[in-house]
Structure 1
Amino acid sequence: MSHPAPLFSPARNAAQRDRMANLPTDANFLAPIIAESLIDRLAMVTRRFDRALLIGAHDAALIEQLRARVGALTLVEAGPGLAAHTGAHRAEADAMDLPIGSFDLIVWPGGLEGINDVPGALVRCRALLAPDGLLLGTLLGDGSLARLRRALMAEGVRSIARMHPQIDLASMGNLLQRVGFTMPVVDVEALTVRYGDWRGLVRDLRAGGLTSRLSPAPPPFTRTEAAHIAAAFAAQADPDGRVAEQFRLVHFSGWTPHPDQPKPARRGSATASLAEALRPGKA
């Protein structure tokens, strides 16, 4: 039986990850924002996690913060150079070969949106977690980079897929439930960043490992195409000449089932009528 060609190239992903490791620590402006959100959410959980897994080893500050909060921290990293430098297990997130049920916390600070088998990666995370284990992560979600997308569709630019499909909140919540996570929570944090030109945005995307991993790789822009894109991006500028681009960070969490977790009420078990409660005079 034939299998569909992969949407994303693991080799390109690995190269991107290793390139991130060679950049200055402050080049990726999204990393500290994502790390702060994940640590804040972790701090709201009133229990200690003894065995944690971090998917992605590029953010040394996040690694340090997690090591201060958990018993033992294991790293998984797709970039071979970065994995060797940090002592991480080298693997793609949808192909992690680690013992089943060996963690009670998995933290994933970006990258799920560029995985070939998203449900399979979530199933693997669920399998790696012990009962009552927590998956906590962030991805670049639906609605991000709208002005760049518009510029790439400018007249005079070849109509070739260059940007990744995006995952929205509803789909992410449904995926978590579908693979067996309980008490899923999904919300979005919208960040607006203003750019003087489209190349500044591209530099930030490269620093964050967010450029295209599509397979096969799309052909490079011609000089004429680059000029059209630059003009189309600049045409969306505010009166001060800067373009406001949006990054929509989708934060998600879910727990592996455990008998002691709270259960949702059985459908139809309510003792009061919603219609009755909404009747005038009942407020």
Structure 2
Amino acid sequence: MRAMSDPHLIFDRRLVRLRRERAAGTQHAVAPVLEAAAERLLDRLDDTTRRFERALEIGGRGLVAPRLRERGIASVASMDLSPRQAASAGGLAVAGDEEWLPFAAGSFDLVVASLSLHWVNDLPGALAQIRRAMAPDGLFLASLPALGTLQNLREALTGAEASLRAGASPRVSPFPELRDGAGLLQRAGFALPVADVEDISLAYRNPLALLRDLQAAGETSALRARDNRIPPRDLFPAALASLPPGTDGTPATLRLLTLTGWSPGPDQPRPARRGSADTRLADALGTKEQGTGEAPG
């Protein structure tokens, strides 16, 4: 395991585990949001006719495993950094780390990770380990917060702290962008990679409730670069007061990045050999091909 002094370590994984462990008793306060995220992710599973027999769900908070069993998958293992979270799913529970998967190659034909991989330090490495644990032609589904999530809160906290102190410390995690998604899957060796985003829009009558929900879900900052000093007394009141109001209250956005990929298999579609086409693209589209205006050579 890498030392905590490693500059590539962004998150304090011990703190992530402790917060997820504590959240096992409080996350019922945000159950509608967690359930909506799980359902949207598993909708992708319903789009395929492939039948799965051995599934691994990662970080599902007791919500994903039952839904997989309802879809006819009898063998479902649940893994989480927190033992309480893993056990809450029922069935086979594994307290494990996404950065050090404890499974043999080819163990599963389906892996689902709902809102958990955003706390991983080495996401490309974690995805590569997940692919290794999958059988050929297995399906991988994951959702994680994307850039744009809690953007208003990030800007409000940064602005308020900058006005109260000489500078501001990061208080909201960095999130990946949509353009990163398919590239991460390809880098990990997945075939047919697809990435897309969709928003879950929330509104709070009391902006302080947003912070309470984040705490209840165990989603408060676990950045190693966080400022461990006691924050100024006026920081959070000033930040929350600066949040832009909406028609139904203080808006907050959970932007979900959904990743879909397949472990390589012999029967999957493959791109044709380069130069093997026998029809011009212009003919297929029914358009007239035009030159660039440059002389040949």
Unpaired segments ≥5 residues, structure 1: none
- Secondary structure at the aligned position of 2:208 is classed as helix
Alignment of 1:212 onto 2:212: no
Residue 221 of structure 1: CA displacement? 2.4
Map 1:166-185; keep pairs closer than 5 Å: 166-185=175-194
Match among 188, 192, 198 for residue 207 of structure 2: 198
Structure 2 residue aligned with 1:80: 83
Does the alignment pair 1:15 with 2:23?
no
Residue type of the partner of 1:149?
R
Within 5 Å, give how 1:138-157 maps onto structure 2. Answer: 138-154=143-159, 155-156=163-164
Tell me if structure 1 keeps the 8 A contact 2:109–2:135: yes
1:105-143 CA-to-partner distances (Å, cap 9, x unmatched) read: 001001212101101100110010011111111001111
| Whole-Å separation in 2 of the counterparts to 1:74 and 1:181 | 21
SS at match of 1:223: coil
Deviations 1:223-281 (A, max 9, x none): 12122212222xx113x47222211111111001111101123333333333453229x
The 5 Å alignment of 1:127-276 reads 127-154=132-159, 155-156=163-164, 158-219=167-228, 220-233=230-243, 236-238=244-246, 240=247, 242-275=249-282
Secondary structure, counterpart of 1:25 in structure 2: helix
Q: Which amino acid aligns with 2:102?
A: D
Give the secondary-structure state (helix, strand or coil) at the position aligned to 1:70: coil
Q: Check 1:126–1:24 CA distance in 2 against 1; reply closer, same or farther (3 A cut).
A: closer
| Counterpart Cα distance in 2 of 1:24 and 1:83 | 14
Secondary structure of the 2:242 match is helix
Please report how far the alpha carbon of residue 76 of structure 1 lies from its aligned counterpart in structure 2 after TM superposition.
0.8
Q: Distance in 1 between matches of 2:23 and 2:16?
A: 11
Report SS of the residue matched to 1:64: helix
Q: How far off is 1:205 after superposition?
A: 1.9
Measure how far apart 1:29 and its partner are.
2.8
Matched position secondary structure for 2:53 = strand
The answer as to whether partners of 1:77 and 1:92 remain within 8 angstroms in 2 is yes
Q: 2:98 aligns with which of 66, 79, 93?
A: 93
Q: Which amino acid aligns with 1:36?
A: E
1:140–1:247: 8 Å Cα contact kept in structure 2?
Answer: yes
Deviation at residue 5 of structure 1 after TM alignment: 5.4
Query: How far apart, CA to CA, are the structure 2 residues paired with 1:5 and 1:251?
Result: 24
Secondary structure of the equivalent of 1:88?
strand
Q: Per-residue deviation at 1:64?
A: 1.2
**Which residue pairs with 2:68 in the alignment?**
66
- Alpha-carbon spacing, 1:26–1:223, altered in 2? closer, same or farther (3 Å): closer
Letter in 2 for 1:222: P
TM-score (norm 2): 0.85
Q: What do you get for the CA RMSD once the two structures are aligned?
A: 2.2
Please, which moves more after superposition, 93-102 or 209-218?
209-218
d(CA) in 2 for partners of 1:65, 1:88: 16
Structure 1 residues 26 and 64: CA distance shift in structure 2, 3 A: farther
Q: In 2, distance between residues paired with 1:104 and 1:176?
A: 17
Q: Does 1:114 align with 2:119?
A: yes
Q: Distance in 1 between matches of 2:177 and 2:60?
A: 25
SS in 2 for 1:49: coil
Q: Distance in 1 between matches of 2:95 and 2:250?
A: 38
Cα 1:24–1:9 shift into 2, 3 Å: closer
Q: Do 1:113 and 1:140's aligned partners in 2 also have CA atoms closer than 8 Å?
A: yes
Count, aligned residues: 276
Q: Between the two proteins, what is the percent identity of the paired residues?
A: 36
Give 1:222 shift: 2.1
